Structure 1
Amino acid sequence: MIGTSAAEYYFIRLCIVGLHYLAPLALCYCALNILLHGLQVAIYRVPLVIECVAVAEALFFLCVYLPYKSYLQREAVHPTPPTREERQELFQLCNENIENPREYLQKWFLGADLKDIKRENVKEFFLWAFFNRGGPPGDDDEELEEYVSAMETLLGEPIEAGRGKAKCLRLTLDEVKMLHRSLIWYLCVGFVDFLAYIALLYHGFHFHRTSLSRFFTLFPFRWQSLFSTYRSPAKHTMYWHRPHTSPTKLPMLFIHGIGIGYYPYTNFLSELNSTAGIESSDPNDQVGIIAIEIMPVAFRITHHALGREELCAEIDQIIHEHFGPDQKFILASHSYGTVISTHLLKTPKIAKRIGPMVLVDPVSMLLHLPDVAYHFTRRQPKHANEHQLYYFASMDMGVSHTLSRHFFWNENVLWKKDLEGRKVTASLSGKDLIVDTLAVGRYLSDQPKSTTIPYRDNPEMASTQDADENSTVRLRTNENSTHVDTNDEEWQSRPWKGTGIEVLWFKDLDHAQVFDSKICRRRLIDVIRAYSESG
């Protein structure tokens, strides 16, 4: 993730304009060419390469993007809703972990004024959140009334009857929002993927492809897969594997986040078996690594995201292939990968083999809060890092479809109770532009709740003269007073001990930046190596 400087802002905006408007320019050029030259259109009047690019981009937009965009708008197939008892337990967990009820409700309603959020609006939101559906309340109205009454208690004020003009964020029911990607962009993705391929091969990893009959189901095409002699036991899931030779250490399963694939993680993965920057050649020191590839969120055009059970079954096949049926392993994941970690943790057959866990920028923690969904899918970008996230990630066809049609929050949320009895380290970044890391850090560290109001998301606070645009303050309120605390809290500087649930706090980093700095990567690697040695 890039920073927020003026130079980075202009750079990222220039990249977006160049990539996004290439297709409209190509369409205009081709249309004008046909209009002016008719049947002689095949006789090029500019360098041939320009004509080829223009025609290719125009055809790609008309014949691939537009039909595919329409195809991806199909309704989500929601999972079976929880039982009433499960819903009530889930609702209670949510209510117990809301720091600012007003902000919580307003953000789920896309910044609407509270007077525009009325009783029927809240029911509509709860119907999606806890019943996995839209439509009228029907027979569920009585239960919905209970939840609305509980929300009134949390707010400390009544919710007006009727329906207001506010619209809530219902990710799996709303339109799949996406923006066109040029062929040039996909060529860039393919090139970066090839660089990652070369780097991982160099560091002893083996690429395991799927069947060659699936070669054309992934674009940009992975030509390197034609030369790989290693075959994945799973139908859809490709991965990287480094053999485990240490008889005393635990191997590791790693799952990446939304992005361009494994290129941003190559240094991290290669350094896991190095000491003082020197890669160990001692077989007794070699920790095995399986790095799963999730192609629907890796900026590719490919099959839709697999369902929870299907993906877990495929990962189980891969684990069994390399680690055997009984070998415990470390489960490490980043961002969206923490959602898949949640699924693995809730799959008994796999959970019993999961040892210590490392969750980097975990989006699955406190997923009932609106921050992840709102910041990733609905926030209008202002800063350089927000533009990078919005255009290159949020509006990617595969990513958007995955989040809008295959991301069911009540399946993906990870609670502290799910981690009981385990060694878990969560790596959090103080300037994360997606996750409310202060809330997550306090939750994992058993800190009392307080109200979090980021300056950038609160107009009243934004007007404060001495407020840094990217800073965050915490407000503790009671009937008589309001005072401001800094965001330096005791849990952020606790020494890491390797027991229970712990937090690594990187105060000045943004989402995913922990992998960019060698010093920060080293902290993660030290944790993983300690877990590997202790079991």
Structure 2
Amino acid sequence: MIGTSIAEYIFIRGCILFLHNIAPASLLYCVLLLGPLPTALSGYRLPPYLEAWLVAEAAFFTIFFLPYKYHLQRPAIHPELLSREERAKLFKRCNATVKDPEKYLSQWFLGAKEEQIKRENVKEFIRWAFLNAGQAESEDEGEVEGYVNAMEKLLGRDIPSGKGSAKSLRLTVDKVDCLHRSLLWYFCVCVVDTVTYWSMLYNGFHFHRTSLARFFTLFPFRPLTLLTTYRSPVEHLTYWHRPHSSKTRLPVLFIHGIGVGLYPYTNFLRDLNKAGEVGGSDAGVGIIALEIMPVSSRITHPALEKDVMVREVQAIVKHHGWSRFVLVSHSYGSIISTHLLKSPVTAPFIGPMVLVDPVSFLLHLPDVAYNFTARQPVRANEHQLWYFGSKDIGVAHSLARRFFWSQNIVWKEDLGVEGENGEEGRNVTVVLSGRDLIVDTEAVRRYLTASFSEGLTSNGKAACVTNKNGKEMITKIGKEDNGAWTSGRWSGSGLEVLWFEHLDHAQVFDFEKTRMPVVQAVELYSAKDGIVQALADS
């Protein structure tokens, strides 16, 4: 993620202006070619190769994009509805973590004012959020009315009757709002993919492709992937694999976020790879880095349904003989991590976890949905997220038709961490950035450390949260720190938070000094839990 300087703003706005206007310029030129060119322009024909490119761009827009955008508008297939008791429990659980009810309601209604949000508006939103419904159904009216009454208690005021002018954000009901991507953009993606391919090969990873029959189901095409002799054991997921040979350490499964695939993570995976090479007969910590193509600036199949994704990940892990692994994910990858964690099929495979910039905590709050899909961009980083992230064809469809918040949300209790009474559990580190433009990381930090007592140093550079037994829960790394553990507070036990005060979403991977604490956390988890697993296996 870029910064917020004036220079970066000019750069990103210039890139967007150029890329977004390729299609209109191509269409205009083709219209002039098809009709009689004005005399003044007839002597100024572009070179043949530029004409061919513009014709291709115009054809791509009219023949592919316009019909495809219409095709993407098909209604979402919602998951099976929770029981009434489960819905009531979920609603109560969500309300318990709302600290600013007025802001909560307003943001779900796209910043509408209090007088614009009336009772029928709230009912409409609740039907979508908890009943997977876009329209009123008489048999659920009593339940919906009860939720509205509970909302009034939360707000401390009555919600006026009738229907106001406010419009709520309902991701899976609203239209798929995407923008055209030019062939030039997909050529750039292809170049980035090529760089990623050779970088991963150089760092000891092997690419596992799907069947040759699926080669043309992904655009831009990936001819280099045809060179590999390794096959993925599943239909959809491709991945990079580093063999695991260690007897005393756990392998690592990595799941990336929205963007251009694994390219932003190549340095992190390289560092992780080096950390796993300690020499001797026990060298070689295995790594699997999944490729989630529907959110990687590609045109491909829709995002996999939850159960399909879980089955394919399980098949990949079993194919390589893993019985337990460290799960590392970033941003959107935390959604897939949540599905793996909640599934009885894959949960036993998951050892320690490192969740970087997770979006799955407090997902009932409007911040993630609003900031990613509805916010009007102002700063440079917001424009980058808006154009290259949320308006991408695959990303927009994934969020509007395959993103069901009640499935994707994760609660502290789901993590299975060590209890306050000392019972053993899963070790989890959550990495948060203080300037995250997508997630309300302050709210997430408060939620994760709510049962602990917090102490902050006066200079704002270090923070420590402890439980009743004095165990430190949070390490805060400021801008001037060298990337090492602040005061050695991170211990690798239970639930802990790494806080990067001056970083934005995904920037933790950009600098070696901020990557290394995350790499060290994964390395320690791999070694610590690997020994325990080795003893259990023996």
Do these two structures clear the TM 0.5 threshold for a shared fold by scoring above it? Answer: yes
Q: Deviations over 1:408-466 (max 9, x none)?
A: 000000001101332111000000000000000110111699xxxxxxxxxxxxxxxxx
Paired position in structure 2 for 1:313 = 311
Which of 484, 494, 501 aligns to 1:500? It is 494
**Partners of 2:338 and 2:408 within 8 A in 1:** yes
**Partners of 1:442 and 1:448 within 8 A in 2:** no
Paired position in structure 2 for 1:435 = 439
2:100 is aligned with 1:100: yes
Q: Amino acid of the residue matched to residue 303 of structure 2?
A: A
Following the alignment from structure 2 to structure 1, what is the Cα–Cα distance between the partners of residues 122 and 464? Answer: 36
2:523 is aligned with 1:529: yes
Following the alignment from structure 1 to structure 2, what is the Cα–Cα distance between the partners of residues 10 and 155? Answer: 42
In the alignment, structure 2 segments of 5+ residues that lack a partner are: 417-424, 454-459, 466-473, 477-488, 530-538
2:294 is aligned with 1:302: no
Q: 1:501, CA displacement in angstroms?
A: 1.1
Following the alignment from structure 2 to structure 1, what is the Cα–Cα distance between the partners of residues 463 and 116? Answer: 36
Paired position in structure 1 for 2:419 = none
Following the alignment from structure 1 to structure 2, what is the Cα–Cα distance between the partners of residues 341 and 268? Answer: 19
Following the alignment from structure 2 to structure 1, what is the Cα–Cα distance between the partners of residues 527 and 502? Answer: 30
In the alignment, structure 1 segments of 5+ residues that lack a partner are: 450-485
2:396 is aligned with 1:396: no
Paired position in structure 1 for 2:484 = none
Following the alignment from structure 1 to structure 2, what is the Cα–Cα distance between the partners of residues 349 and 79? Answer: 19
Following the alignment from structure 1 to structure 2, what is the Cα–Cα distance between the partners of residues 379 and 487? Answer: 31
Q: Amino acid of the residue matched to residue 296 of structure 1?
A: P
Paired position in structure 2 for 1:343 = 339
Following the alignment from structure 1 to structure 2, what is the Cα–Cα distance between the partners of residues 109 and 427? Answer: 29
Paired position in structure 2 for 1:76 = 76
**Count of equivalent residues:** 495
Q: Amino acid of the residue matched to residue 503 of structure 1?
A: V
Which of 417, 420, 426 aligns to 1:422? It is 426
Q: 1:183, CA displacement in angstroms?
A: 0.3
Following the alignment from structure 1 to structure 2, what is the Cα–Cα distance between the partners of residues 98 and 487? Answer: 28
Following the alignment from structure 1 to structure 2, what is the Cα–Cα distance between the partners of residues 422 and 137? Answer: 42
Following the alignment from structure 2 to structure 1, what is the Cα–Cα distance between the partners of residues 369 and 54? Answer: 36
Residue aligned with 2:191, SS: helix
Following the alignment from structure 1 to structure 2, what is the Cα–Cα distance between the partners of residues 124 and 390? Answer: 27
Paired position in structure 2 for 1:509 = 503
**Partners of 2:429 and 2:496 within 8 A in 1:** yes
Residue aligned with 2:19, SS: helix
Following the alignment from structure 2 to structure 1, what is the Cα–Cα distance between the partners of residues 517 and 209? Answer: 32
CA 1:213–1:43: 2 relative to 1, 3 Å: farther
CA 1:489–1:273: 2 relative to 1, 3 Å: closer
Following the alignment from structure 2 to structure 1, what is the Cα–Cα distance between the partners of residues 362 and 32? Answer: 53
2:87 is aligned with 1:58: no
Q: 1:497, CA displacement in angstroms?
A: 1.4
Paired position in structure 2 for 1:191 = 191
Q: Amino acid of the residue matched to residue 92 of structure 1?
A: K
Following the alignment from structure 2 to structure 1, what is the Cα–Cα distance between the partners of residues 123 and 170? Answer: 12
Structural RMSD (CA): 2.1
CA 1:190–1:280: 2 relative to 1, 3 Å: farther
Which of 359, 362, 370 aligns to 2:358? It is 362
Q: How does 1:200-239 map to 2 (within 5 A)?
A: 200-239=200-239
Q: 1:149, CA displacement in angstroms?
A: 1.0
Q: Deviations over 1:229-259 (max 9, x none)?
A: 0000000110010001111000011100000
Paired position in structure 2 for 1:474 = none
Q: Deviations over 1:284-333 (max 9, x none)?
A: 13210011111000000001111000111011110001134xx2101110
CA 1:353–1:52: 2 relative to 1, 3 Å: same
Q: 1:394, CA displacement in angstroms?
A: 0.4
Between stretches 106-115 and 266-275, larger displacement belongs to: 266-275
Q: Amino acid of the residue matched to residue 16 of structure 1?
A: I
Residue aligned with 1:216, SS: helix
Q: 1:489, CA displacement in angstroms?
A: 6.2
Following the alignment from structure 2 to structure 1, what is the Cα–Cα distance between the partners of residues 442 and 461? Answer: 8
Following the alignment from structure 1 to structure 2, what is the Cα–Cα distance between the partners of residues 525 and 489? Answer: 20
Paired position in structure 2 for 1:166 = 166
**Partners of 2:119 and 2:163 within 8 A in 1:** yes
**Partners of 1:118 and 1:164 within 8 A in 2:** yes
CA 1:170–1:54: 2 relative to 1, 3 Å: same
Q: 1:274, CA displacement in angstroms?
A: 2.2
Residue aligned with 2:497, SS: strand
Paired position in structure 1 for 2:284 = 286
CA 1:283–1:274: 2 relative to 1, 3 Å: farther
Q: Deviations over 1:34-76 (max 9, x none)?
A: 11259xx999932111101110100000011111100000000
Q: 1:282, CA displacement in angstroms?
A: 4.3
Q: 1:283, CA displacement in angstroms?
A: 5.1
CA 1:49–1:447: 2 relative to 1, 3 Å: farther
**Partners of 1:209 and 1:232 within 8 A in 2:** yes
Following the alignment from structure 1 to structure 2, what is the Cα–Cα distance between the partners of residues 161 and 169? Answer: 20
Following the alignment from structure 2 to structure 1, what is the Cα–Cα distance between the partners of residues 151 and 509? Answer: 39
Paired position in structure 1 for 2:22 = 22
Q: Amino acid of the residue matched to residue 61 of structure 1?
A: F
**Partners of 1:118 and 1:159 within 8 A in 2:** yes
**Partners of 2:361 and 2:409 within 8 A in 1:** yes
Paired position in structure 2 for 1:32 = 32
Q: Amino acid of the residue matched to residue 46 of structure 1?
A: L
User: What is the aligned-residue identity percentage?
Assistant: 57
Following the alignment from structure 1 to structure 2, what is the Cα–Cα distance between the partners of residues 145 and 203? Answer: 58
Q: Deviations over 1:378-431 (max 9, x none)?
A: 000000000000000100000000000000000000001101332111000000
CA 1:42–1:201: 2 relative to 1, 3 Å: farther
Following the alignment from structure 1 to structure 2, what is the Cα–Cα distance between the partners of residues 42 and 529? Answer: 66
**Partners of 1:273 and 1:285 within 8 A in 2:** no
Q: How does 1:172-187 map to 2 (within 5 A)?
A: 172-187=172-187
Following the alignment from structure 2 to structure 1, what is the Cα–Cα distance between the partners of residues 109 and 463? Answer: 30
Following the alignment from structure 1 to structure 2, what is the Cα–Cα distance between the partners of residues 163 and 13? Answer: 38
Q: 1:137, CA displacement in angstroms?
A: 3.7
Q: Amino acid of the residue matched to residue 389 of structure 1?
A: L
**Partners of 2:127 and 2:144 within 8 A in 1:** yes
**Partners of 1:273 and 1:280 within 8 A in 2:** no
TM-score, structure 2 length as denominator?
Answer: 0.89
**Partners of 2:277 and 2:283 within 8 A in 1:** no
Q: 1:145, CA displacement in angstroms?
A: 1.3
Following the alignment from structure 2 to structure 1, what is the Cα–Cα distance between the partners of residues 184 and 35? Answer: 26
**Partners of 1:242 and 1:288 within 8 A in 2:** yes
Q: Amino acid of the residue matched to residue 447 of structure 2?
A: Y
CA 1:77–1:85: 2 relative to 1, 3 Å: same
Paired position in structure 2 for 1:411 = 407
**Partners of 1:271 and 1:279 within 8 A in 2:** no
TM-score, structure 1 length as denominator?
Answer: 0.89
CA 1:80–1:188: 2 relative to 1, 3 Å: same
